[in-house]
């Protein structure tokens, strides 16, 4: 079997030399364990934080050991009554061809609902992040005007479509290329802009048009776009702080948002969240999302890279915006 290890910690932007592909021996199964042949693995922005040696909400990756993260695979051997050979499961040991882990640490999925990779994206953690962040953390209500950054990405593209499906008055998205902006309009966003085209505040005001301001901002990127959103929030607006990818690779302390004090007068709510704390919504989310997907109300994109050996580059490219929708690595 093969696995990808962390060879050194990135300083600033990750580079291929930070990673190493290694051959390993698959250990014998112990009682209660399963052997999973991974079909696909996820690369996610939060993994960048785990490559630093700092305490955060998830433990740092160890040097010279396999990375880990979301994966979907097929059980090929089992010493547990809970899982059978042939089951398709989601689990946390990506970045390797074969995973040995406790059956209890795997989640069985129904492959008749969608292709296996969907359980790493729209029907998995990504989708729940969008749903919980919008409906609970940002307390979305029908009639709200919603702005989401990173809108062509995995989480963001779902946020915008879920907001539309649930009765948003207007949904605005931002992304990093003209192609992505065009794609957002195809997905049903009312307006979209390329944040490289000028100051975010002006671009956002332009996208709002006649509309007074925004009620909900779903923040995937932080920095300048967060500052722009604060500037155009309506009174009592709610901001869900989901991610801050614009600062994940920076080596200096960020400056924006410089207008945070205006949140006082507008009586805004800014609330950070972690999807793991909202697992109680998983059932409700799965029911709604499978309905929306079946009806074609929500669509999801995948950017697929083939081969474990290409996973480090897929991760680096994700940070640079090479993906539309969920960035995945398939392991043929
Ligand atoms: P995405 O699919 O959105 O991929 C990352 C995207 O970020 C890229 O495609 C790129 O698109 C964009 N990006 C990169 N650099 C910048 C920048 N400087 N400014 C603005 N955009 C940038 O990833 P996910 O959907 O998986 O994650 C989105 C966010 O949600 C991340 O911040 C992530 O950390 C966070 N997250 C948080 C969770 C939680 O529990 N709180 C759970 C899951 C994700 P572009 O071409 O548009 O620049």
- pLDDT score for 254: 87
- CA dihedral of residues 272, 277, 278, 280 (deg, nearest 10): -160
Q: Does residue 154 sit in the same domain as residue 16? A: no
Q: Is the pLDDT of residue 11 over 90?
A: yes
For the CA of 129, the closest atom of ligand 1 is 42
Tell me: the pLDDT tens digits for 206-247?
999 987 899 999 999 999 999 999 999 999 999 999 999 999
Instruction: Count the domains in the chain.
Output: 2
Q: Does residue 113 sit in the same domain as residue 163? A: no
Q: Which residue is listed with tokens 């079909």?
A: 39
In a domain? residue 282: no
Contact 209, 225 (CB under 8 A): no
Task: Please state the rounded mean pLDDT for residues 172-196.
Answer: 98
* Cis peptide bond N-terminal to 321, omega within 30: no
| Ligand 1, pocket-test mutation among 14, 45, 136, 317, most atoms within 8 A of CB | 45
How far, in Å, CA of 286 to CA of 281, rounded?
9
The domain boundary, picked from 240, 259, 276, lies at: 276
Identify the band that residue 83 occupies on the pLDDT scale cut at 50, 70 and 90.
very high
| 222 CB-contact burial (10 Å; exposed 0-12 / middle 13-18 / buried 19+) | buried
The domain boundary, picked from 276, 292, 312, lies at: 276
Q: Does residue 97 sit in the same domain as residue 167? A: no
| Ligand 1, pocket-test mutation among 126, 321, 322, 325, most atoms within 8 A of CB | 321
Task: Quote the ligand 1 centre to 259 CA distance (angstroms).
Answer: 23
Q: Does residue 139 sit in the same domain as residue 111? A: no
Ligand 1 site residues, Cβ closer than 6 angstroms: 44-46, 126, 129, 150, 152-156, 175-177, 180, 195, 220-221, 242-243, 245-246, 273-275, 318-319, 321, 323, 327
Q: Of 215, 188, 193, which is closest to residue 205 (Cα–Cα)?
A: 193
ipTM: 0.99
Task: Quote the ligand 1 centre to 75 CA distance (angstroms).
Answer: 31
Task: Quote the ligand 1 centre to 175 CA distance (angstroms).
Answer: 10
- pLDDT score for 224: 97
Instruction: Tell me the residue range of the domain where 117 lies.
Output: 2-121+302-330
Tell me: the pLDDT tens digits for 100-155?
999 999 999 999 999 999 999 999 999 999 999 999 999 999 999 999 999 999 99
In a domain? residue 268: yes
In a domain? residue 223: yes
- pLDDT score for 212: 86
CATH of the domain at 78: 3.90.180.10
Rounded to the nearest integer, the mean pLDDT of the chain is 97
Task: Please state the rounded mean pLDDT for residues 59-65.
Answer: 96
For the CA of 45, the closest atom of ligand 1 is 34
| Ligand 1, pocket-test mutation among 220, 246, 273, 318, most atoms within 8 A of CB | 220
Cα angle at 220 between 258 and 107, to 5 degrees?
Answer: 150
Q: Does residue 18 sit in the same domain as residue 104? A: yes
Q: Is the pLDDT of residue 57 over 90?
A: no
Which helix (DSSP H) or strand (DSSP E) does residue 186 occupy? helix 178-186
Among residues of the chain, what percentage have pLDDT more than 90? Answer: 95
Q: How many CB atoms lie within 10 A of CB 268?
A: 20
Q: Does residue 169 sit in the same domain as residue 249? A: yes
In a domain? residue 70: yes
φ and ψ at residue 86, rounded to 5 degrees? 100, -15
């Amino acid at each position: 079997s093969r696995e990808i290890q962390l060879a050194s910690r990135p300083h600033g932007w990750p580079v291929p030399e930070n990673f190493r592909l290694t051959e390993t021996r698959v250990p014998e199964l112990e009682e209660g364990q399963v052997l999973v042949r991974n079909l696909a693995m996820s690369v996610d922005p939060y993994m960048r934080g785990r490559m630093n040696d700092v305490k955060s909400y998830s433990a740092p990756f160890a040097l010279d050991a396999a990375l880990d993260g979301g994966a979907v695979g097929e059980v090929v051997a089992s010493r547990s009554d809970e899982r059978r050979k042939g089951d398709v499961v989601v689990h946390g040991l990506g970045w390797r061809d074969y995973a040995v882990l406790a059956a209890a640490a795997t989640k069985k999925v129904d492959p008749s609902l969608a292709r296996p990779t969907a359980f790493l994206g729209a029907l998995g953690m990504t989708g729940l992040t969008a749903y919980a962040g919008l409906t609970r953390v940002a307390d979305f209500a029908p009639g709200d005007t919603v702005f989401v950054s990173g809108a062509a990405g995995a989480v963001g593209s779902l946020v915008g479509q879920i907001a539309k499906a649930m009765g948003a008055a207007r949904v605005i998205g931002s992304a990093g290329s003209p192609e992505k902006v065009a794609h957002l309009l195809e997905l049903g966003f009312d307006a979209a802009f390329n944040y490289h085209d000028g100051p975010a505040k002006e671009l956002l005001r332009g996208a709002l048009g006649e509309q007074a301001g925004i009620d909900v901002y779903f923040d995937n990127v932080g920095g300048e776009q967060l500052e722009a959103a604060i500037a155009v929030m309506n009174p009592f607006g709610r901001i869900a702080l989901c991610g801050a990818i614009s600062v994940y690779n920076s080596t200096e302390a960020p400056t924006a948002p410089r207008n945070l004090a205006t949140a006082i007068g507008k009586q805004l709510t800014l609330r950070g969240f972690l999807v793991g704390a909202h697992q109680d919504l998983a059932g409700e989310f799965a029911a709604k999302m499978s309905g929306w997907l079946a009806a074609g109300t929500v669509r999801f994109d995948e950017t697929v890279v083939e081969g474990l050996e290409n996973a480090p580059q897929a991760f680096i490219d994700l940070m640079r915006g090479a993906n539309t929708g969920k960035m995945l690595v398939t392991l043929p």
